[in-house]
Amino acid sequence: MSDAEDRSDPFFIGWAAAPGRLRPFLAGVGLCLAVLFGGVGYIAAATQADPGSGSGGRRETAIGVLAYDPYPLLYVTESERYPAGHTLLLSGNAKFGVQDRASALDGRLVQVSGGPVSRGDIDMLRLRGGTNGLSLVEDAPEAPPVPQPVSLGRWRLTGEICDGQCVAGAMRPGTGLAHRACANLCLIGGVPPVFVSTAAVEGEEFFLLADADGGPVTDAVLDHVAILVEVEGEVERRGNLLVFRIDPGSLQVAP
């Protein structure tokens, strides 16, 4: 191989020193790669979507009346953070519900303790383990009456089914398709499902989901979590919480 040829068409051999003519080209490729990686990394990171306003806070304690169906709720009677009459969704810490602990306490006056998460109209307490998180108030008189559901009519709403814990700020973002399997895991574990509507009903966009009879609806909605869906059902008010008693048969992907 002559020098002239080498200059016009350099031949790279991996175990030998790179031909002089090729070095500026290779240095340029290396520099371009570094700029590409740095630039793409910056743009991909800086354009991440806003995960929303959900947020957590320091541990809170509240006393109130527990309702078991469709998902464990607390009608607050006494708390430093929440006004009396406020409705709190209850779940366990991480991807656990509290159905096992709450089943024997339906309608009883209980004390709850855990980490609050909230977003919009949704307030949830992620209870600590065992009786530290949920316990019967001993020696209490009969529990005060809980607010009766008030029907707000039958509605067709468009929105996203989420797990109540993550959408309220336990995870940021706690919505969207990348988070879908995680949301399903939460729901399967017993965390209450929440419907985030694209339009408000009586000024509220977040609804606790239930089936048409007011019971849990988790199994029927798992394939429709984290995508925009259209669904029909009765909306009712329980305290300050809206419950959307959906007809799972009417669930369809939003056109």
Binding other proteins by CB under 8 A: which of 58, 80, 130, 148?
A: 148
Query: Is 91 within 8 Å of 55 (Cβ atoms)?
Result: no
Binding other proteins by CB under 8 A: which of 61, 81, 146, 212?
A: 146
Residue 118 is a binding residue for other proteins (CB under 8 A): no
Residue 4 is a binding residue for other proteins (CB under 8 A): no
The Cβ of residue 188 has, within 10 Å, a number of other Cβ atoms equal to: 14
Least separation in angstroms between residue 141's CB and other proteins is 6
3-state secondary structure the chain: CCHHHHHHCCCCCCCCCCCCCHHHHHHHHHHHHHHHHHHHHHHHHHCCCCCCCCEECCCEEEEEEEECCCCCEEEEEEECCCCCCCEEEEEECCCCCCHHHHHHHCCCEEEEEEEEEEECCEEEEEECCHHHHEEECCCCCCCCCCCCCEEEEEEEEEEEEEEHHHHHHHCCCCCCHHHHHHHHHHHHHCCCEEEEEEEEECCEEEEEEEECCCCCCHHHHHHHECCEEEEEEEEEEECCEEEEEECHHHCEECC
Binding other proteins by CB under 8 A: which of 60, 155, 220, 251?
A: 155
Residue 8 is a binding residue for other proteins (CB under 8 A): no
Residue 5 is a binding residue for other proteins (CB under 8 A): yes
User: According to CB under 8 A, which residues from 78 to 107 bind other proteins?
Assistant: 78, 84-86, 94-96
Binding other proteins by CB under 8 A: which of 129, 131, 200, 219?
A: 200
Query: Segment contacting other proteins (CB under 8 A): 75-83, 110-118, 128-136, 213-221?
Result: 75-83
Binding other proteins by CB under 8 A: which of 42, 69, 103, 106?
A: 42
Binding other proteins by CB under 8 A: which of 158, 212, 214, 220?
A: 158
Least separation in angstroms between residue 104's CB and other proteins is 20
Residue 57 is a binding residue for other proteins (CB under 8 A): no
d(CA 87, CA 89): 7
Q: What are phi and psi of 104, to 5 degrees?
A: -90, 0
Residue 249 is a binding residue for other proteins (CB under 8 A): no
User: With CB under 8 A, what is the number of residues at the site for other proteins?
Assistant: 108
Query: Segment contacting other proteins (CB under 8 A): 110-118, 127-135, 137-145, 211-219?
Result: 137-145
d(CA 231, CA 209): 11
Binding other proteins by CB under 8 A: which of 20, 57, 129, 144?
A: 144
Binding other proteins by CB under 8 A: which of 197, 209, 211, 218?
A: 197
> Smaller CB distance to other proteins: residue 5 or 69?
5
